[in-house]
Amino acid sequence: MALSASIVVQGGNPLQGAVAIGGAKNSAVAAMAAAALAEGETVLENMPEDTDVEVMARILTHLGCRVVRHHRRVRVDGRGLRARRPPDELARRLRASFYITGVLLGRLGEAEVPLPGGCPLGSRPVDFHLEGFRRLGAQVDLIHGCVRVRARRLVGTEIYINRASVGTTINLMLAATLAHGTTVLVNAAREPEVVDTAVLLGAMGARVQGAGTDVIRIDGVRKLEGARHAIIPDRIEAGTFLAAVGLCGGEVRLLNVVPCHLHAVIAKLREAGVEIEWGDGWLVARRRGPLRPTDLVTSPFPGFPTDLHPPFAALLAAAPGVSVIRETIFDRFQYVDELRRLGADLKVEGEAVVIRGGRRLTGAVVEATDLRAGAALVLAGLAAAGVTEVRGAELLDRGYEHLERKLAAVGARIRRQKAAPAGPETPPPKARSQAGAGSLAVASTYKK
């Protein structure tokens, strides 16, 4: 993808105010796929206004669904689902496009889906998904870069997932809802996004039990109906804002959050010297004293989420002393070289990054290598002296809803800039005073 926009930040401002967190990106794309299983209209509320949702809408439209987006509400009508193959160009743009395989297999008994794309986080195979489809009785072939799956009717069975994979758990849950008999997923992922998808499927008439534990039981039904469902808040967006407060200092209240999705994150923030208070649906982060170093290990939920590894590396780069982040899910160290351009002292050692924090950070031109790497660079820029230009704003738009608007509203000096041939010259403007709470007018009916 050609990178044509940058986010430009001027470091040094503490953050102050309130931010409304959007709906969870990874739940939203799964919910849209789930909605296509129904022979009726599903209304999804609290949808994030990011580009992954946009791409998923286009894919579903191409397959024959009717998708209408209005503000944070997306309607998906699955009645017209006919086509069996999403367009290559769209499927390659996001990992969640592969959920279409489970949907089409369940509903039409056949699918031809290009191997998915998504953020470059090392090798991201789909072998667990394919093994699961085989166990459900599908014939699975890989032809010309496409996965072709076929089954007269899927038949439920017990499936052991080799590793608690979020994508595999969701894809197999989608397929199994319309299978004949009972499917039991063992070693299922326990992420809140899996639970959210199961709740939606339940509202559509599916019989799913155990989501949120590592054994999920799905009793197949013949047909699913449309439903109405509100997507859970995005715990990764929330964690990114919390890390930002840690880096910049100040006090920010997050609204529309589920604090119990963030236990590991809250624990690590407290160790790092950030005060956290929380209640039902809100969370306040405050930092007045110095940051402290801490170690963390990424692991499946309820462990520390891999998607917050890069933002927390930025945070710990500002904490005097040595911190170590051990990454156990993905190969995601591409951000390290870019963070070094700002003066951070990080070194990759095997599957860990050793951070010697407390060095003075100074603004520079850097490039987002993926969505969360981009967030880490924006955060580090907010704490750096001078101006930082983060190229590749489009990558941030995949999973952060108007990041610069929300940060500006809590006092960050930040703006978006179209392709900048030379380095940043004009410092970003002063911030507005209210964040993310207003609805952002987007209305579209997608056309094939």
Supply the minimum distance, in Å, between the C-beta of residue 427 and ligand EPU. 30
- The residues in 307-366 that bind ligand EPU, with binding defined as CB under 6 A, are 307, 329-330
Helix (H, G, I), strand (E, B) or coil at 56: helix
| 8 A C-beta contact, residue 173 and residue 218 | yes
Helix (H, G, I), strand (E, B) or coil at 241: helix
Supply the minimum distance, in Å, between the C-beta of residue 444 and ligand EPU. 21
Of 62, 93, 95, 107, the one binding ligand EPU (CB under 6 A) is 95
Coarse DSSP helix, strand, coil percentages of the chain, rounded to the nearest 5 percent? 35, 30, 40
Q: Which stretch binds ligand EPU (CB under 6 A): 23-31, 34-42, 56-64, 217-225?
A: 23-31
Supply the minimum distance, in Å, between the C-beta of residue 373 and ligand EPU. 10
Residue 268 or residue 372: which is nearer to ligand EPU going by CB? 372
Can you say whether residue 281 is alpha, beta or left, with left for phi > 0 and alpha for psi between -120 and 50 degrees?
left
Number of residues counted as binding ligand EPU (CB under 6 A): 25
- Residues comprising the chain, all counted: 448
**Nearest alpha carbon to residue 13 among 424, 407, 434:** 407
* Tokens matching residue 183: 């499917």
- The residues in 148-207 that bind ligand EPU, with binding defined as CB under 6 A, are 163, 165-168, 189
Residue 50 or residue 389: which is nearer to ligand EPU going by CB? 50
Of 72, 84, 93, 129, the one binding ligand EPU (CB under 6 A) is 129
35: part of which helix (H) or strand (E)?
helix 25-35
Q: Does the footprint of ligand EPU cover residue 125 (CB under 6 A)?
A: yes
Residue 372 or residue 406: which is nearer to ligand EPU going by CB? 372
- What is the spatial distance between Cα 196 and Cα 208, in angstroms, rounded to a whole number? 12
119 catalytic? Reply is: yes
- What is the spatial distance between Cα 50 and Cα 22, in angstroms, rounded to a whole number? 10
Residue 328 or residue 362: which is nearer to ligand EPU going by CB? 328
| 8 A C-beta contact, residue 266 and residue 302 | no
Q: Helices (DSSP H) in 332-436: which residue ranges?
A: 335-341, 371-383, 393-397, 403-409
- Which residue's Cβ lies closest to ligand EPU? 167
Supply the minimum distance, in Å, between the C-beta of residue 157 and ligand EPU. 18
* Tokens matching residue 68: 């209408």
228: part of which helix (H) or strand (E)?
strand 228-230
Of 106, 399, 411, 436, the one binding ligand EPU (CB under 6 A) is 399
- What is the spatial distance between Cα 334 and Cα 369, in angstroms, rounded to a whole number? 7
- What is the spatial distance between Cα 373 and Cα 122, in angstroms, rounded to a whole number? 14
Supply the minimum distance, in Å, between the C-beta of residue 332 and ligand EPU. 8
Q: Which residues contact 268 (CB under 8 A, 6 or more apart)?
A: 294, 296, 304, 312
Residue 335 or residue 409: which is nearer to ligand EPU going by CB? 335
Site string for ligand EPU, 400-429 (x = CB under 6 A): ------------------------------
Of 306, 323, 369, 417, the one binding ligand EPU (CB under 6 A) is 306
Supply the minimum distance, in Å, between the C-beta of residue 368 and ligand EPU. 12
Supply the minimum distance, in Å, between the C-beta of residue 296 and ligand EPU. 15
User: What is the binding site for ligand EPU (CB under 6 A)?
Assistant: 25-26, 29, 95-96, 119, 124-129, 163, 165-168, 189, 306-307, 329-330, 371-372, 399
Positions marked active-site: 119
